[in-house]
Amino acid sequence: MKFTVAIDGPAAAGKGTISRAVAEKFGFAYLDTGSLYRAVGVKALEIGRGVIDPVVAARVAGNLSDTDLNRDDLRTGMAGQAASKVAAMPPVREALLEFQKDYARREGGAILDGRDIGTVICPEAEVKIYVTASDEVRAERRQKELVPDKPDLTVGQVLIDLRARDARDAARDVAPMKPAQDALLLDTTKLSIDAAVAEALALIQKRIG
């Protein structure tokens, strides 16, 4: 059986939590596509010491190992910014395209979260959900996640960081962040994690029939 769930939306809207819960409930494989761009961004920073050469980054993108994708430092704010810079480079997106497309149509069902899953990676996905939340709520959530490693980090700093990243992701020429025309919108601003997950599960269950 091929069944794809495409989850898109801005940073810290709840995509990861929802995707993991869906994957567990329906037995789907889960790919956090942001981790691909984060891994490329972090590698490119190391190689280029801040100056990212698109050709180098693209070569890196095609050669990511499991170790690269599971590095502890991928979740930092710096990795997020580096990711969104390399993600605007067409050769980087091109290098990651086939892997994601194949993943989306694998047997047994798959859920992918990112920015362009419903629009570019898998426009034929059976379910597309665009997850959003207010900027302030997203910044609070992300700050809570990051503060154990960075005790001085304020919600205000995270808010600036998220807005910069969202603006870059939405404005780029290739595969900008936007809802697919047929995506269902899920605003998690006022929802608890459990309620957001329950809504997503219900939407998917309805499509599965």
Q: Is 165 in the site for ligand C5P (CB under 6 A)?
A: yes
Nearer to ligand C5P, 30 or 37 (CB): 37
Residues 120-159 within binding reach of ligand C5P (CB under 6 A): none
Rounded to 5°, the CA angle 202-115-101 comes to 85
Dihedral class, residue 27 (left if φ above 0, else alpha if ψ from -120 to 50, else beta): left
Site for ligand C5P in 12-71 (CB under 6 A): 33-34, 37-38
Instruction: Name which of 101 and 206 has its Cβ closer to ligand C5P.
Output: 101
Alpha helices in 72-129 (DSSP H): 77-86, 90-104
Which H/E stretch holds residue 109?
none
84 touches ligand C5P by CB under 6 A: yes
Q: Which stretch binds ligand C5P (CB under 6 A): 20-28, 78-86, 186-194, 199-207?
A: 78-86
Q: How far is the CB of 167 from ligand C5P (least distance, A)?
A: 10
Contact 29, 19 (CB under 8 A): no
Those residues whose C-beta lies under 8 Å from the C-beta of residue 11, and which sit 6 or more positions away, are 80, 138, 142, 162, 165, 166
| Pair 196, 189: CB distance under 8 Å | no
Among 5, 6, 7, 11, binds ligand C5P (CB under 6 A): 11
Cβ at position 184, least distance to ligand C5P in Å: 18
**Which residues of this chain interact with ligand C5P, rule CB under 6 A?**
11, 33-34, 37-38, 80, 83-84, 87, 114-117, 165, 169
